[in-house]
Amino acid sequence: MNEELITKDALNAVVGAYCDDIFSILGMHQLVDGSLVVRCFLPDAKSVSVISSSDKRKVAELESVHPAGVYAGKMGNRKNRFTYFLRVEYEGATIDIEDPYRFPVMIDDNNLYLFCEGTQEKSHNFMGAHQVTSEGVNGVCFTVWAPDARRASVIGDFNHWDGRRHVMRKHLGSGIWEIFIPGVKTGDRYKFEMLDHYGNMLPLKADPFAFEMEHPPATASKVAAPLSGDWQDKSWVKGRQKHNWRASPVTIYEVHLGSWRRNPMEGNRYLTYRELASELVPYVKEMGFSHIQLMPVTEYPFDGSWGYQPIGMFAPTSRFGSPEDFKFFVEACHAEGIGVLLDWVPGHFPTDEHGLGRFDGTSLFEHADVRQGFHPDWNTLIYNYGRKEVISFLLSNALFWLEEFHLDGLRFDAVASMLYLDYSREGDAWVPNAYGGRENLEAIELLKQVNRRAYFNFPGILMIAEESTAWPGISQPIESGGLGFGFKWNMGWMNDTLKYMERDPIHRKYHHNQMTFGLVYAFSENFILPLSHDEVVHGKGSLLDKMPGDRWQKFANLRAYYGFMWTHPGKKLLFMGGEFGQSDEWNHNQSLDWHLLDYPEHKGVKALIKDLNALYTNTPALHQLDCEGRGFEWIQTDNAHLSVFCWLRKGEEGAAPVVIISNMTPTVHTDFPLGVPHAGFYREIMNTDDTKYAGSGVNNGEGVTAAKKPWDGRPYSLSVTLPPLATIVLQLDM
């Protein structure tokens, strides 16, 4: 071996694939005497020549210095560096290739600084795999954060999945590795192969910043083409910027894309993003929902997690198509005036070995202390919110979906699990914060930072917290001591009212407060009333199945409850299938039971939801002051013996007020008196007992006129007929 060309130690490090500074060995280097040497590692090569890129002339024939494929040689009398490529002879073929070790550093130092500082909002612009051109050569720059790895390599379709061939360059200050590999193409699969600090081989890792991944159960990342820049939704995005959602109708249709509808003619397969654009979007438009909320589409390995255990946080799941297909779906929504929200999961991640856990052999993304880094409920890992690079990862991910795919907001999953250090833990199974408290101060700062930057960069979006406790100020401004979310799910309202509705009507009078208690705190936050997927799984049954009584009463109860919900202060969210009274519990492995729409009762529920959405959208008194106490008044709050609820909804000045009455028993009440503040004719604009909804048809005709007879502390009163198990809405003619 010629030690002048390469030292024994360097040679062994290259062949053994444990070199931690490969760029100091391979590529072109200047020796002490000023001469230039080129070294390369090309297994199976028979000969290697260095060719000048400028004149295509052969400069030197490299010497084989190791049978594994290491070649080295001096560049004759040349003293100045030059660009070159390698002409490699293999068995039966000679090809020209670019040497990846001749290219310069691809990452800007400022980006690395911001990433390590925890303020990098666009880590995805340089981390992961990016198709770029360097010195006129097309290829892909691969970048990964693995500070404790002794060696990191890119392996993939382009190098026979051989970790010796493309060992990466390490930036010591940041722990980020990178390499530009010429000739890598869109669709090529890849992973990262790493040795831990002690030289042990780690499980192959998917790219945390991958923009596309293989269809599970395959686990490789894929080189993704940049999204086409020809977005057609500029008017939608511009109009959204000045939108005040607190004062606007918000009706959200929550969807699991894998089970909304399937194709039974082709093995019950999923619909693609493009098929969903042509089927789901018109359906949501027809039903009058303002937004679609997608259960997580960030790539996830296990179907049964419904997406809530994601691994590819930057990759739309390949189950339904490519990133470009997902973009097409979002555009189709915006073209129809429908916003798109995404369930976002910053609270935990799965332990799959190709994922983030023990990524470089250490607890890199997760907290090392199991009392802070492991979720006992879900057997998942918890992000280390105290690590700046993890903050940059999560912050960039949130903004990525809003920027790259023009999404209209994020719904943060399991926020309570992030806020409390003792969440689902007892005794000494948790670690207090620096002040001895149970608040997770680092997670709180992350939530504030994401909300602050999201609203700053994308005015008019919705940032929503699924938070199940009484933590104050979830949806209040950060400047006022809040967390900065736009809205919070009202889990208490959902739990209380569903418990009430599940009771036999004969017992409801003893639990009257379960329907009224939500108004005690209804305006402490900007609330969304959710009937989500969580209420129709794990043996809970469907919403229809929760209702008591015979078949007619079940449907009547459900219709009355929907009427109560749509006229109650707060924005609305309904999980798919609820809009037509799905009978069975939701099953993620199959389509919704669309055949039920052949039955009039189910068709009636669907018609009701469509009309309730229209009523809520077109009646200012029902949405303008959803989050303001001045928009609501109880008329009768204590009529427990009849299980009747009466209230008034008001809008801004000039909006016609509406009166709502819910009768939660099967008894028809005639000449039912209730007080109203204004004289005039109160038109019946909604009756959930209408025959078009498969109800019994008990009604008030066109409406009723207020009499100058004081009642309920008001100067006028109405005498109305209350249908059985029904909600009616009366609007004052103005």
- Comparing C-alpha atoms, which of 371, 373, 369 is closest to residue 348? 373
Helix axes 109-117, 388-404, angle to 10 degrees: 110
pLDDT at 3 over 80: no
- Domain end point (choices 574, 599, 620): 620
Domain count, the chain: 4
Residues 414 and 499 in one domain: yes
Residue ending a domain, among 76, 102, 128, is: 102
For residue 638, indicate whether it is catalytic: no
Per 3-state DSSP, the chain is made up of helix, strand and coil in percentages (nearest 5) of 30, 25, 45
Which pLDDT score, from 0 to 100, does residue 284 have? 98
Share of the chain above pLDDT 70, in %: 100
Do residues 376 and 247 share a domain?
yes
Q: Extract the tokens encoding 234.
A: 């500029």
CA-to-CA dists, residue 264 to 63, 280, 592, 597, angstroms: 62, 16, 12, 17
CATH of the domain at 671: 2.60.40.1180
- 314 and 420 housed in the same domain: yes
For 272-297, the pLDDT digits (tens) are 999 999 999 999 999 999 999 999 99
Between CA 4 and CA 36 the distance in angstroms is 11
- Residue 413 annotated among the catalytic residues of the structure: yes
DSSP state of 481: T
Residue 26 lies inside a defined structural domain of this protein: yes
**pLDDT band of 34, cuts 50, 70, 90:** confident
Does 99 score more than 60 pLDDT?
Answer: yes
pLDDT at 725: 98
391/273 same-domain check: yes
Tokens of 117: 């500082």
Give me the chain's average pLDDT, please.
Answer: 96
Tens of pLDDT, residue by residue over 700-717, are: 999 999 999 999 999 999
Based on the domain organization, do 146 and 83 belong to the same domain?
no
pTM: 0.95
Partners of 143 in the β-ladder: 128, 178
Catalytic residue among 98, 466, 535, 684: 466
Residue 312 in any domain: the answer is yes
User: Rounded to whole angstroms, how far apart are CA atoms 15 and 489?
Assistant: 57
Burial degree of 456 (CB within 10 A; 0-12, 13-18, 19+): exposed
Given the residues 121, 360, 413, 535, select the one marked as catalytic. Answer: 413
**First-residue to last-residue Cα distance in the chain:** 98
Q: Does residue 217 have a cis peptide bond before it, meaning omega lies within 30 degrees of 0?
A: yes
Q: Burial level of 585, CB count in 10 A (0-12/13-18/19+)?
A: middle
Query: Among 593, 620, 647, which residue terminates a domain?
Result: 620
Residue 157, in any domain of the structure: yes
> Tell me, what's the pLDDT at 32?
85
- Cβ contact 273:328 at 8 Å: yes
The answer to the question of residue 551 being in a domain is yes
For residues 479-502, average pLDDT:
97
- Radius of gyration over alpha carbons of the chain, in Å? 31
Instruction: Clarify whether residues 610 and 674 are in a common domain.
Output: no
Phi, psi torsion values for 441, nearest 5 degrees? -60, -35
| pLDDT of res. 470 | 92
Farthest CA pair distance, the chain: 110
CA–CA gap between residue 503 and residue 716 (Å, rounded): 34
Residue 231 lies in a domain: no
pLDDT-based confidence at residue 77 (cuts at 50, 70, 90): confident
Are residue 72 and residue 122 in the same domain, yes or no? no
Q: Which residues contact 75 (CB under 8 A, 6 or more apart)?
A: 28, 35, 36, 37, 38, 50, 59, 60, 82
Same domain, residue pair 140 and 86: no
Q: How many helices (H) and strands (E) does the chain have?
A: 14, 38
Q: With 60 as the cut, is the pLDDT of residue 1 above it?
A: no
Cβ contact 382:365 at 8 Å: no
In this model, does residue 250 exceed pLDDT 90? Answer: yes
The answer to whether 118 and 129 have CB atoms below 8 angstroms apart is: no
Domain that holds residue 496: 238-620
pLDDT tens for 586-635 read 999 999 999 999 999 999 999 999 999 999 999 999 999 999 999 999 99
Confidence of residue 262 (pLDDT cuts 50, 70, 90): very high
User: What are residue 28's DSSP bridge partners?
Assistant: 38
**561 and 657 both lie in a single domain:** no
Q: Tell me, what CATH number does 612's domain have?
A: 3.20.20.80
CB atoms within 10 A of CB 234: 10
Task: Assess whether pLDDT exceeds 80 at residue 548.
Answer: yes
Average pLDDT value for residue range 98-109:
94
Mean pLDDT of 340-360: 97
Q: How confident is the model at residue 269 (pLDDT cuts 50, 70, 90)?
A: very high
Kindly give the pairing relationship between strand 658-663 and strand 726-732: antiparallel
CB neighbour burial string for 259-279, b if at least 16 within 10 angstroms, e if fewer: bbbbeeeeeeebbbbbbbbee
Model pLDDT, residue 598: 97
What pLDDT is attached to residue 76?
A: 87
Q: Is residue 123 one of the residues assigned to a domain? A: yes
Q: Cα(733)–Cα(646) distance, rounded to whole angstroms?
A: 19
Is 386 in the same domain as 337?
A: yes
pLDDT tens digits along 416-452: 999 999 999 988 899 999 999 999 999 999 999 999 9
Residues 208 and 252 occupy one common structural domain: no
What average pLDDT score do residues 707-730 get? Answer: 97
Cα separation, 398 vs 391, in Å, equals 11
Distance (Å, whole) CA 20 – CA 175: 12
Can you give the CATH number for the domain in which 24 is found?
2.60.40.10
Q: Is residue 625 part of a domain?
A: no
**Which residue type occupies 705?**
T
Question: What's residue 5's pLDDT?
Answer: 86
Task: Note whether residue 452 is domain-resident.
Answer: yes
| Mean pLDDT for the stretch of residues 51-67 | 94
Q: Are residues 98 and 113 in the same domain?
A: no
Coil, helix or strand at residue 62: coil
pLDDT at 20: 86
